[in-house]
Amino acid sequence: MAVRIHFTDADLAQIRLAQAPDPMWEALLSMHMLQTDTGAAVFGGWRRRLRRELPAGVGPLLRLAPPVGYSADFLTPTAGTGGLDAGVGALLSTPRGRFRGDLLELSRAGRGLPPWARPLADGDKEAVAHLARSFRGYFETALAPWWGRVRARFDAERAVHSRYLADGDHGDQGDLGGLLSTLHAGLVWRKPVLEVTGVGADRDVHLDGRGLLVLPSYFCWRKPTLLRDPALPCVVVYPMTHETMLGGGASGLRSLNALLGRTRAGILELVADHGLTTTELAHDAGISPATASHHVGVLRKAGLLSTCKAGKTVLHSVTPLGLALLDGRA
């Protein structure tokens, strides 16, 4: 089973790579993670803390985002690519028909809806405002304290995309089309069709000039996802790679003792400005590639560097913890 997205030559020219993490999508997908126990190595500490701290009044919002099956499409408006304020503004402007249709879809699946769902389906202004306040409350508690980590991981992913496109040697697949096949195992590019696997659906989507937004997500877990309604803008969300625990304990801080050498501190400074490959890092630091690879491994285990791979490129980037150490705030 797969969702097959069909491209014309004109559609290929309208593939867009997200410029920043989308707070609406991250909030929705983090709600999924909060309601499961999967991904404990990455999200365990975050999940335990949030289950203690999430305000009770925000809890009913989770009913719109069950971890399995359909979640309300109106929670992820495309304006979210412009930031939280733009996304919540679009949520406030959702047409009544969209509220009604998405809530009906949830009820068909046997989901218990929050008590304010009926007036929301009717477009009641106070119910819509309550939804927006709940969403902001969830974001401030669940995501805002860790947004720097999410953004740093996103920037590392973007840097790999840029390197791939700048390389230019991609055979006959086409730059952006070829890039799609490197992002995740669940995305399979067979020109002119992108197959999105593991989504529990089997259908064909023809873009018809709408374009495609490709969005890496911190909280997307194991397989890509996309909106169910084919009439909505086409967005493919895929999981970023993870190497450090979100909200994890003191193990990363204890590992900072490994950074007391001048070479590793220098490597951290070099990578802080922009992502570097191992070869570039070795050249700039004046050490062999093997030595650079060893030190990068130590810094990565300490949670100070992250590594992304796309095609032939392996790019190292500094994490928020690494930046904090350089700034003297660790």
Q: What would the pLDDT profile of 123-147 be if each residue is shown by its tens digit?
A: 999 999 999 999 999 999 999 999 9
Q: Tell me the H-state helices in 168-301.
A: 175-183, 251-254, 262-273, 278-285, 289-301
Secondary structure of residue 324 in the 3-state scheme: helix
Surface-to-core class of residue 110, CB atoms within 10 Å of its CB (0-12 exposed, 13-18 middle, 19+ buried): exposed
| pTM value > 0.85 | no
C-alpha 143/C-alpha 26 separation (Å) is: 8
Residue 160 neighbours by CB distance under 10 Å: 24
What single-letter amino acid sits at 235? V
Q: Over the stretch 88-122, which tens digit does the pLDDT of each residue have?
A: 999 999 999 999 999 999 999 887 899 999 999 99
pLDDT at residue 259, as a whole number: 56
What single-letter amino acid sits at 161? H
Q: Over the stretch 35-46, which tens digit does the pLDDT of each residue have?
A: 999 888 788 889
Q: Over the stretch 185-201, which tens digit does the pLDDT of each residue have?
A: 889 999 899 999 988 88
57-66, 95-104, 268-277, 321-330: which range is least confident on average? 321-330
Phi then psi dihedrals of residue 258, to 5 deg? -70, -10
Which domains are seen in the chain, by residue range?
A: 2-19+168-239 (no CATH), 23-146 (no CATH), 251-326 (1.10.10.10)
C-alpha 50/C-alpha 320 separation (Å) is: 20
